[in-house]
Structure 1
Amino acid sequence: MSTLVSATPEQEARRRKSVIWVVSIATVGLVFDGYDLVVYGTVVSTFLRDPSQIGPVTPAVAGALGSYALVGVLVGALLAGSVGDILGRRKVMLVAYAWFSIGMAVTALMSSATPFGLMRFITGLGVGALVATTGAIVSEFAPPGKKNLCNAITYSGVPLGSLLAALLAILLLAGIGWRGMFWIGALPIVTLLPLAFFKMPESPTWLAARGRIDEARAVSERTGVPLAEVPPVGEASARRERVGFAGLFGQEYWLPTVLLGLMSATGLVLVYSLNTWLPELMLRAGFNAKGSLSFLLVLNGGAVVGALIGSRVADRLGPKPVVAACFLIGSAAIALLTASLPLALLLLFVAIAGLGTSGTQTLIYGFVANYYRTTVRGAGVAWCAGFGRLGGVGGPVIGGLLIAAGLSTNSIFYVLAGLSVLGVLLTLLVPRARGPRDLHPTAIEPSRTATSVTSEPGTPRSSR
């Protein structure tokens, strides 16, 4: 049991404002993040059918080009995990906004497949750094009992960005071409980056965990977020020795780390297989170009709505059973896409498949961000985003190879449904989190703010 000193209404108001700013900026960042990664799926049919754009592109080459960005995400996420736990979340996020914006702008200037693929990789480095860092900072600002919800809102930015890419492709692709679509992805450098520079604070929890107590106290006072207690000297030294990936693969966490990484990889195979190839599969099923892009719109719309609903349940029951259930629901929905259904029902099952793929991946990020303690949280989210990108890399490639091998659309959907069942099994094997996820919070100025004393269990319900 730990003792908490309640905050004044003024502090609570500052905290609400800070949480709103952090979650809003982080969400918009991931909207562009999701846009940048999925915009390729909206233009791949153009590349396959028009060699004047970046040269001849076969299905296998298209799958490889789709994977280059995800290889970059893998590398960027793993690098950012250690850097974020050592240098801070805020610095990594600001650099990531600038990096992937410039990368998208340069990609729009490419005229052949090789430099296009290289720039997709370079852009992916910034995308990976952002995905890996966002969950950690949001989790550290989110109030108890709403951590899964805040992470779900934030990571819903990824499918929202995917939805935005599909919608803009329907409305604008014919007029602005694929280059215009990529220029849109460069907008954060003149919009989001300046806003984040002034409004995104560093996490006081992270500052306190790194021993920067004066800075943590100042940020806590400014934002209203409770300052973490300073652990005893011996404990602080031990935790510094286990910071980042060193702690992630220690005795306490190595098994769940492996399982969570495999869960994320499985989820991202599904996410990027569908986001890259669903428009092409629907074209082959007889829908026109705009109709096939509409399925991508519905897929990501279902992911957003499903993740928000699932996160509320996860804050009450814990994320593990909710993630397993969403994987299972997604498997059933993908399998049902093979049936001869009226259009309305087909769209409904595509939306449910969005819940079971991109929506489930959103819940996985929340699960991971609240599973680990503060000093390894950034590395944990980075591992989930980075190692998981092996699945993201494989998704477009697998889809391209299955199409190139001549498999029917129905057979491809059955393969994806089977992968979703694998996700269920991996989720059920993850052991329950043990011990506190954060250092115990206290009010920063007890002499002014103490009005009552309450007790709180050491292990929050949301960490299950």
Structure 2
Amino acid sequence: MPETSTVATPEQDARRRRSIAWVVVLSAAALVFDGYDLVVYGTVVPVLLADPSHLGTVTPAQAGTLGSYALVGVLVGALAAGAVGDRIGRRKVMLVNLAWFSVGMGVTATTESVATFGLFRFFTGIGVGALVATVGALVAEVAPPGQRNRYNAIVYSGVPAGGVLAALTAIALGDSIGWRGLFWIGALPIVVLLPLAIRFLPESPKWLVARGRLADAEAVSRRTGIPVPAPEAVLEDSTEEKVGFPALASRRFAFPTALLGLMSFAGLLLTYGLNTWLPQIMGEQGYGKNHALTFLLVLNLAAIGGGLVASYVADRVGARRVVATTFVLAALSLAVLPLSMPAAVLFLAVGLAGVGTIGTQVLVYGLVSNYYPTNARAAGVAWCAGFGRLGGIVGPIIGGVLVGAGVGGSTAFQLFAAVSLAGAAVALAVPRPAHAESRRTDLVPGEVRSTVTA
């Protein structure tokens, strides 16, 4: 089966750009609601702590635990998606979990007790975890060569963008629609995103080739313009024919997989810890409710801009060094947050903390998405998202314990700074990827490779 190449017509090239744009837009939009779910809980924590008429009495320690229930669900969802995503495909996992997540958010809005609220936070988290674990694999497999970190950063910037949406919505509408209305907004994907995804989201041709479905890959390529990679470029990295999590446990990937998991653990501990407790900590330092929510807004807006700039650099110098640098930036900014500073300097420090924490995690997903071959990519991103969520579970709990003990925000920020430095050290220890897909020159835009029978 020799390989032939053809140059795409302008129409085919336009179709390819349009198809990739749909993948990026739909993936980013899905993650906007992941970020919305993350931050909207932080915006309602002060309400739940102050008024027991909503769910009953909620202590700071309980609030931290409730914040962690969704993250346990994310862990379950990510690992489940990793177990099946490399076998059944990226598209099916995304469609199912867009609906799953939306139903969970809607039902959460109707809960009347702490127990049921926590249960459906867990349920919602399963859908979130599956989406986070899948979109990185899909985007990495359709993104143009040399731009994968940038495309992944655009998609995963949906998480802080969702945080911005949640903060703005809480400031503008929180008093009028209440916390239940804020959660109902999170149920919108089943109405606005799922129909579009069913119509426009393609399967990954690279995944189809990895599963030996060459005819299906060609059909997707003809419809979308997304090129089909040469089979030998994908299949020679079968990792002894292991697929998914067994491939991660192979001798070649076991050590870097452990390090990538620890790196994501640090990034998500910082991301969830700050998003859950920053409004409350700043409120205790004398800032009013809207001021405290504005800190969340600055944190997530800076993460979007900083993450995109850093991803551009990562495509040129390598993601590992950039991730280590942004972790160090987080440590420096977090260390100075408890200090008495003018408002402008304080907001700058919060913005740099957003780049170094949430922005770093955006880069981590890009690094992991491009680290593994096709037969293990979804499992690798799932491991990163799933194991990392253990850090996301620990972060809100640590914040809750410290706030409940009356220690204040200073200790929490110092602890988060230490975690940032540890994350930088782990990032530098990750070995370079050695699989063939990372060494080959991918197809240039406009080139479509197909296999024909001689």
Distance 2:323 2:43 in 1: 28
Which whole-Å CA distance do the structure 2 matches of 1:329 and 1:232 have between them?
38
For residues 240 and 252 of structure 1, do their structure 2 counterparts lie closer, same or farther at Cα, with a shift above 3 Å needed? closer
Residue matched to 1:402: 402
**Offset of 1:202 from its aligned partner?**
0.3
Q: Which amino acid aligns with 1:285?
A: Q
- The letter for the 1-side match of 2:123 is I
Q: Which residue of 2 aligns with 1:454?
A: none
**Letter in structure 2 aligned against 1:255:** F
Alignment of 1:164-203 (within 5 A): 164-203=165-204
1:249 matched residue in structure 2: 249
Q: Which amino acid aligns with 1:100?
A: F
Q: 1:101 to 1:327 in 2, by over 3 A?
A: same
What is the distance in 2 between the residues matched to 1:330 and 1:234? 40
The Cα offsets for residues 143-194 of structure 1, whole Å up to 9 and x where unpaired, read as 0011000000000000000111011000110000000000000001011000
Aligned equivalents of 1:108, 1:222: Cα separation in 2: 40
Q: Percent of aligned positions with the same letter in both sequences?
A: 57
Q: Does 1:390 align with 2:355?
A: no
Paired residues of 1:103 and 1:120 also in contact (CA < 8 A): yes
Q: TM-score, normalised by structure 2?
A: 0.95
**1:290 corresponding residue in structure 2:** 290
Q: Secondary structure of 2:165's match?
A: helix
Partner of 1:340: 340
Query: How far does residue 437 in structure 1 lie from its aligned partner after superposition?
Result: 2.8
- TM-superposed CA distance for 1:15, in Å, is 1.3
Cα deviations by residue, 1:261-301 (Å, 9 ceiling, x for unpaired) = 00000111100110000000011000111110000000000
Please give the TM-score of this superposition, normalised by the length of structure 1. Answer: 0.93
Aligned residues: 445
Is 1:443 the equivalent of 2:421? Answer: no
SS in structure 2 opposite 1:231? helix
CA positional deviation for 1:28: 0.6
1:229 aligns with 2:230: yes
1:372 aligns with 2:369: no
Asked if 2 retains the 8 angstrom alpha-carbon contact of 1:217 and 1:444, the reply is no
Q: CA deviation at 1:443?
A: 2.4
- Alpha-carbon distance in structure 2 between the residues aligned to 1:234 and 1:204: 13
Other-structure match for 1:458: none
**Shift in Å at residue 312 of structure 1?**
0.3
- Taking the aligned partners of 1:268 and 1:397, their CA distance within structure 2 comes to 13
Distance 1:367 1:410 in 2: 32
Distance change in 2, residues 1:199/1:245 (3 Å)? same
Moved more, 7-16 or 305-314: 7-16
1:380 and 1:165 mapped to 2: Cα distance? 29
Counterparts of 1:443 and 1:193, CA distance in 2: 29
Post-superposition shift, 1:323? 0.4
Letter in 2 for 1:404: G
Distance change (3 Å), C-alpha of 1:298 and 1:206? same
In the TM superposition, residue 224 of structure 1 has moved relative to its aligned partner by 1.3
Q: Does the 8 Å CA contact 2:98/2:190 hold for their aligned counterparts?
A: yes
Aligned to 2:34: 33
Greater shift, 409-418 or 344-353, is seen at: 409-418
Q: 1:90 corresponds to which residue?
A: 91
Residue segments in structure 1 that go unaligned for 5+ positions in a row: 448-464
Query: Using the alignment, how far apart are the partners of 1:233 and 1:149 within structure 2?
Result: 22
Work out whether residues 218 and 450 of structure 2, in 8 Å CA contact, stay in contact via their aligned partners in 1: no
Could you tell me whether the CA contact under 8 Å between 1:370 and 1:437 is conserved in 2? no
Match runs of 1:7-18 below 5 Å? 7-18=8-19
CA deviations on 1:232-287 (whole Å, 9 max, x unpaired) are 99958x55731100111101111110000000001111001100000000110001
CA distance in 1, matches of 2:233, 2:32: 41
**1:92-111 alignment to 2 at 5 Å?**
92-111=93-112
Contact 1:240 1:375 in 2 (8 A): no
* Offset, 1:5: 5.6
| Letter aligned with residue 122 of structure 2 | F
Structure 1 stretch 217-226 or stretch 66-75: which is displaced more?
217-226
Residue 153 to residue 284, structure 1, CA distance change in 2 (3 Å): same
1:141 correspondence with 2:142? yes
Contact 2:230–2:449 (Cα < 8 Å) also in 1: no
1:24 corresponds in structure 2 to 25
